[in-house]
Chains A and B, each alone.
Chain A
Amino acid sequence: MKTSKPLGRQRSNFRKYKALYFITIPGILYFIIFKYLPLMGSVMAFQDYNIFKGFTGSPWVGLDQFRRMFTYTEFLRILENTVLIGLYDILIAFPVPIILALLLNELRKVLFKRILQTIVYLPHFLSWVIIGGIMIGILSPTTGIVNQMLNAIGIKSIYFLGEDSYIRSILVGTGIWKDSGWGTIIYLAALASVNPELYEAARMDGANRWRQTLSITIPAILPTITIMFLLHIGNFLDFGFERVFVFVNSLNEHKGDILDTYIYRVGLIDQQYSYTTAIGLFKSLVGLMLIMIGNTLSKKTSGEGLY
């Protein structure tokens, strides 16, 4: 045979496992069409895209759209909102499921643990529309239960969604309420796979539960934490359109509007295609940079990484 050895081996591998290769075709096509094609379409950020002229007919404008972005004070304000809300979300919301999972894991009564798990997972099943509805009802200045409790202790009603000073806390807080219980699943799964013999050995050595948590439990879930963290910072500027869109109104948008809601409004509604694609691209680039920095740091310190 003329072909070199590795290539020949490769061919027989294809033939031998053709079923394995065959069933991956739809999945790979999916990623090409719905992920890579739009990525290529993103070149319109460097054009003045005209829907009638298409990609080939629209004039190239270089970095004009990006320049335009950074000269708009409105854009800069929304960027600041997005960064701050994303930062609060990582600092406050990210550790909650880890702590919750560690506490749940310490529960000795199995039934109680299961009931609690069922309850803390529950809010995850509600859509943002529903959560918006619930929270707007609870925080209502007239009939909301929060303001009734404030009134009972002599504090005047606060219109929480009617001014911009509470919107960020509401966004981060409802996120914790919705997803921190659900977030424990992945950590609990990691905790469940810890070898119980390790704990036994530690007990023999006289380690108490706190000591066991520090030396066995936390190191055991550290890889999971690292990976979750890397995924999280990659989506740093993707705070979630659905979450913000239900809470933002004209009274609180000054501090609540984020890039995603801005892109929807200016891009899809006002049809400024190239300009908002440039914003989207900028968002992805920041995410990519963060994930690369995070991955490098994490590999250097803990040996764990996404790639």
Chain B
Amino acid sequence: MNIKGRWFDWFNTIFLTLVGCIMVFPLLHVLAKSFSSSKAINAGLVKVIPVDWTFVNYKVILADTSIWRAFLISVIITVGGTAINLIMTASLAYPLSRPEYSLRKVVLIFILITMIFQAPLIPNYLVIKNLHMLDTLWALVIPSAISAYNLFIMRSFFVALPAELIDSARIDGASEMRTMWSVILPLSKPVMATMGLFYAVSHWNSYSTALYFINSRTLYPLQLRLREIVLSNDLGQAESLLDGVNEVSPAGVQMAVIIVSVLPIIIVYPFLQKYFIKGMLVGSIKT
């Protein structure tokens, strides 16, 4: 390799390392603060390593039942919602990838229209209201059952599968459903895992749908409860958690809630990452 190329490699490595640092620094900072004492936080001593180690911030959270309940609701929405998402998306995306499905063009345009021309908030709200879904968890799951964007990605994955696979399954006498179930789906693990992750993240992280459609505080998902604790300007919400606990700062508790709500996804992420990395690198393995 010539000198110029090596210079570029060096620059590139350093630059990307820097980018990586910028990406993780805020997270490490939050993690460090969540394990630090209120004194250290208020004195501004905490950078990326906890100062004056303590678990007191987490103890405050674990003692709060409203956070637990919100956490559970988010788990239900995420697991149930993602299952619905994957079934609905795959069962529409697969036929749309097949030339034998003669309505392909019509349905694709029908979906594309909804992508570029979305109805305003209020008519959406009224539809959900008329279906009596307001103030139920269904409102957080059903109206987002299919993302057109994910559908198109999944479809193009199916399109890219060799047609000979389907032909040979047919020659072997497999029905359409059986072909989909035993031939296509096993090959689609990377795209299913990736789409599942997309969907799960959006369920776990969404708060606007709950803000629009949920009134009862007992049905608040984690993000909405979190919003009260983390973003309340006067910290009144965070302080209400601190009744009777000394030596705890709202900032420390806020950071600990943040860590708790990120934890599940960080735990699941490495397992799914294997799939989408694989999915991405399929083409380059040949080298």
Contacts and interface: CB of A to CB of B under 8 A. Distances in A.
Interface of A: 10, 13-14, 16-17, 19-21, 23-24, 26-28, 30-31, 33-42, 44-45, 100, 103-104, 106-108, 112, 114-130, 132-138, 142-143, 145, 148, 177, 181, 185, 188-189, 192-194, 196, 208-209, 231, 234, 238, 241-242, 245-246, 249, 260, 263-264, 267-268, 273, 276-277, 279-281, 283-284, 287-288, 291, 306-307
B62 interface: no
Contacts of A41: 119, 123, 126-127
A112 B208 contact: no
Contacts of A189: 279-280
Nearest to B268: A125
Given A125-B266, A208-B4, A143 B116 contact: no
Contacts of A112: 13
Contact of A42 (B8, B119, B254): B119
Of the listed residues A100, A128, A138, the one surrounded by the most CB atoms of chain B closer than 10 A to its CB is A128
Contacts of B284: 192-193, 196
Given A108-B9, A143-B42, A242-B208, A129 B223 contact: yes
A245 B112 CA distance: 28
Nearest to A39: B119
Nearest to A114: B277
A283 B100 contact: no
B41 A26 contact: no
B246 interface: no
Nearest to A174: B26
B102 A10 contact: yes
A114 B124 CA distance: 41
A307 B111 CA distance: 12
B146 A42 contact: no
A130 B226 contact: yes
The B contact surface, by secondary structure, is helix
A115 B110 CA distance: 41
Contact of A127 (B223, B279, B283): B223
A107 B16 contact: yes
B16 to A, nearest CB: 6
Interface string B161-196: 000000000000001110010000000000000000
A143 to B, nearest CB: 5
A177 B117 contact: no
Pairs A-B, 10 closest by C-beta atoms: A280-B120, A27-B92, A41-B123, A38-B119, A127-B205, A133-B230, A19-B176, A35-B114, A193-B283, A38-B123
Given A13-B100, A107-B12, A196-B284, A128 B205 contact: yes
B231 A246 contact: yes
Nearest to A238: B118
B109 to A, nearest CB: 7
A103 B279 contact: no
Contacts of B177: 19, 23
Nearest to A274: B122
Interface string B45-72: 0010000000000000000000000000
A27 B91 contact: yes
Interface string B17-33: 10110111011011001
A194 B287 CA distance: 11
B218 interface: no
Nearest to A23: B91
Nearest to A17: B100
Given A125-B265, A249-B233, A273 B122 contact: yes
29 contacts: A17-B176, A23-B92, A26-B91, A27-B89, A27-B92, A28-B107, A31-B114, A42-B120, A45-B120, A108-B9, A120-B19, A122-B269, A127-B205, A129-B205, A133-B254, A143-B44, A145-B29, A145-B44, A192-B280, A192-B281, A192-B284, A194-B283, A209-B8, A246-B227, A260-B121, A263-B122, A273-B122, A279-B120, A287-B116
